[in-house]
Amino acid sequence: MAKASSDALAQARDAAIGFAEDHPVYATLIALGMLAILIPWTLEILGFGELGPIEGSFAAGWQSRYAGYVPRDSLFSYFQRLGMKWHWSV
């Protein structure tokens, strides 16, 4: 069973690489689409929620290092702005 799985994985990898080499524009569009789908999920997992940092999360710990002052153009403020604006629309 492990050999079959390994062979299937190798074939899938080779097919994906071949597709990306033959169609770089499509491969780029697919990658950007996947990134757009995963960013809101990743931000929420890290604790950047719609209403601010989620208590007890990575984001809350990061914010506590600023001791009440988060610089305007910091990476933290950028991620928090994304977390508040770019969320799942159901």
- pLDDT tens readout for residues 68-86: 788 888 999 899 988 888 7
* Cβ atoms of residues 34 and 26 within 8 Å: no
pTM comes to 0.63
DSSP 54: P
Q: Is residue 90 part of a domain?
A: no
- Express each pLDDT in 19-49 by its tens digit: 999 999 999 999 999 988 888 888 889 999 8
Half-sphere exposure of 56 (CA within 13 A, CB side): 0
Residue 29, phi then psi, degrees to nearest 5: -65, -40
Q: What range does the domain containing 58 cover?
A: 2-85
* Residue 6 is assigned to a structural domain of this protein: yes
| Residue 39 is assigned to a structural domain of this protein | yes
72 in a domain, yes or no?
A: yes
User: Do 79 and 59 meet the contact criterion of CB atoms below 8 Å apart?
Assistant: yes
The predicted structure's pLDDT at residue 90: 43
Work out how many domains the chain is built from and give that number: 1
The answer to whether residue 36 is domain-embedded is: yes
Answer whether residue 22 is part of any domain.
yes
